[in-house]
């Protein structure tokens, strides 16, 4: 399965990728293509894919809120 998360620019996509990569399982691959974060998974079951994407979405929300807070305090 492949999912894309559009970001404002390539630098934002790379920051998001770096924020997520440490906690992703080995069957999840995060890449930046242009200004998109691309998530590819090769999990063997639909249940695993669903759980993984739910976890990743929660992490994306936290990472984006943290980045927004950091830029607002500058």
**Predicted confidence (pLDDT) per residue in 20-67, tens digit:** 998 888 999 999 999 999 999 988 899 999 998 999 999 999 988 888
The pair of three-digit structure tokens given for residue 49, joined into one six-digit string: 């894919």
Helices and strands in the chain: count of H runs, count of E runs: 2, 3
- Architecture of the CATH domain 2-72: 2-Layer Sandwich (3.30)
Q: What is the rounded CA–CA span in Å between residue 53 and residue 31?
A: 15
Euclidean distance between CA atoms 41 and 20, whole angstroms: 14
**pTM for the complete prediction?**
0.82
DSSP assignment letter at 30:
E
What whole-number distance in Å separates Cα of residue 52 and Cα of residue 33?
21
């Amino acid at each position: 399965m492949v999912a894309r998360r559009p970001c404002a620019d390539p630098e934002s996509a790379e920051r998001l990728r770096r924020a997520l990569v440490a906690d992703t399982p080995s069957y999840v691959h995060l890449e930046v293509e242009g200004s998109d974060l691309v998530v590819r998974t090769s999990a063997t079951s639909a249940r695993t894919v669903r759980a993984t994407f739910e976890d990743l979405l929660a992490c994306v929300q936290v990472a984006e809120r943290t980045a927004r807070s950091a830029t607002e305090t500058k």
